[in-house]
Amino acid sequence: QKEVEQNSGPLSVPEGAIASLNCTYSDRGSQSFFWYRQYSGKSPELIMFIYSNGDKEDGRFTAQLNKASQYVSLLIRDSQPSDSATYLCAVNRRVGNEKLTFGTGTRLTIIP
């Protein structure tokens, strides 16, 4: 079982619709969760982080965390063509060896 799993996609969403990206993790000790956006040939760019169960909103982005189900998601409202990228989910433990463990990413394409 992979530590962090994401559907690799591609996920195609019409412009203006809601894009829903999902991520599951295996380590129940994971404490912090991050979403990064990565354009082709570029480095990951932080979009959001979430530590507590529930929803966290920032502009058009909403992160959702359910620790009981070991599930974290990212919703993108009013999707724009500029949102087309690979979205990486990453998790971190707060103790011991501090590192981000990434999923393989979901490729999102917004169709004009």
Partner 1 sequence: DAGVTQSPTHLIKTRGQHVTLRCSPISGHKSVSWYQQVLGQGPQFIFQYYEKEERGRGNFPDRFSARQFPNYSSELNVNALLLGDSALYLCASSQQGVAETQYFGPGTRLLVL
Q: Which residues bind partner 1 (CB under 8 A)?
A: 4, 31-32, 34, 36, 42-46, 49, 88, 90, 92-94, 97-105
* Residue 17 C-beta: closest distance to partner 1, Å: 26
Least distance in angstroms from the C-beta of 81 to partner 1: 23
- Spatial contact of 21 and 34, defined as CB atoms under 8 Å apart: no
Nearer to partner 1, 7 or 92 (CB): 92
> What is the distance, to the nearest Å, from the Cα of residue 109 to the centroid of all Cα atoms in its chain?
15
Nearer to partner 1, 26 or 78 (CB): 26
Rg of the chain taking only CA atoms, in angstroms: 13
d(CA 88, CA 90): 6
Closest separation in Å from C-beta 97 to partner 1? 4
| Cis ω before 10 (30° cut-off from 0) | yes
Residue (79 or 106) nearer to partner 1, CB: 106
Classify strands 45-50 and 30-38 as parallel, antiparallel or unpaired: antiparallel
Cβ closer to partner 1: 36 or 76? Answer: 36
